[in-house]
Amino acid sequence: MLLTTAHPTRISTAILNLLLPHHRTTDRAPAPAEAFAHQHRRIAAFVREGVPVEFTLPAFPCKSPNPAKVLGRLPDQAERLSLRFLNTLCTEIERVYPPGARVVICSDGHVFGDLIRVPDRHIDAYADELRTLIDDLALGRLSVFDLRDVFGPLAHDAKRARVHDRYAPPVAALRAQVRSDEPTLALYRGITRFLVEDATDFSGTRSALQRECRERAYGVIQRSRAWGTLIAEHHPRAVRLSIHPQPVGAAKFGIRLLDAPDAWTTPWHSAALLRPDGTWTLLPRARAAGLGRLVHRGTRPSHFEQR
């Protein structure tokens, strides 16, 4: 139903109702659109001007370096399905608001590549393939923004240093927030878990690995916050999406790209599995391999198909 003559608040509610089924949150009870006041205001501002709603999504950094979780270093069916989902969400918004919506994917691999121990050349290859996928699949409502758009050909370490020095919050403030704020604690624990899982070549003890990853997790959160501030400078009016779970009423709207067994699973930390009923889910590669056969797309592994 088109809402071209409706009040901006009503259109904003209709758009939020399209987002809500995909809300990524650890809250147990669903919330109505009216509970998302920050997003309401942002969307309504675009509606009043009659221009496309702009969403920014820090995501699609690079593939996990853990071969038990992913099929390789480049985007595969997991990314392909996720990108199509985002583009389709924009087309659904067009049905209730003709100017539609756009999603700016803020690819953040280089922001913390040194901390997650992924070489910059692998991040470049992933980001380049992501842009190619968007073009090949004609996903015209999506675009990619990364540090190359901000600092051009500057060396990766220099880019990271500039972002960190200018925008990163003090680590002492983050430590205090982890102690006092439940969502920040959950984020810290989630990132620490990923770092531990991805440290496949660590030669020390398990306890030493966990200590190191806990420290690196603070660095990842620092850089993530810095990247968020930089994005806000370049896209000051955008509605901020997040691939991390977000509580109802938060300034960021957590969005689930694909079905997965837990709220923290992402396409770049897993592989896509096609179920017998035609639906897709995300699972670690090792687990998906136990359920189905590997399918290739051309010469590259793409996904698993459940037996």
pLDDT of residue 6: 62
Supply the pLDDT for residue 1: 47
Give CA–CA dist 173/34, Å, rounded.
32
Q: What phi, psi does 304 have (nearest 5°)?
A: -115, 150
Strand 101-107 and strand 53-59: pairing?
parallel
Q: Identify residue 226 by its one-letter amino acid code.
A: A
Residue that is written with structure tokens 């699949």 in the block: 137
Does the predicted model carry a pTM greater than 0.75? yes
What is the Cβ-side half-sphere exposure of residue 159, based on CA atoms within 13 angstroms? 21
What DSSP character marks residue 238? P
Note down pLDDT in tens along the chain; length 307 residues: 445 556 888 999 999 999 999 998 878 778 899 999 999 999 999 999 999 999 999 999 999 999 999 999 999 999 999 999 999 999 999 999 999 999 999 999 999 999 999 999 999 999 999 999 999 999 999 999 999 999 998 999 999 999 999 999 999 999 999 999 988 998 899 899 989 988 887 777 888 889 999 999 999 999 999 999 999 999 999 999 999 888 898 999 999 999 888 878 899 999 999 999 999 999 999 999 999 999 999 999 999 999 8
pLDDT at residue number 138: 97
> What Cα–Cα distance (Å) separates residue 62 from each residue in 10, 132, 276?
38, 15, 29
Residues 6+ apart with CB under 8 A from 42: 237, 238, 239
C-alpha distances in Å from residue 284, one per residue of 58, 258, 269, 278? 22, 14, 7, 19
Cα distance between residue 291 and residue 281, in whole Å: 12
Output the CA torsion sign for 137, 142, 147, 152: positive
- Residue 262 has what pLDDT? 80
DSSP string, 53-68: EEEEEEE-----S-TT
| Confidence (pLDDT) at 199 | 84
Element (H, E) at 213: helix 206-234
Alpha helices in 3-155 (DSSP H): 8-19, 37-49, 77-96, 113-116, 120-136, 147-151
- As a whole number of Å, the end-to-end CA separation of the chain is 40
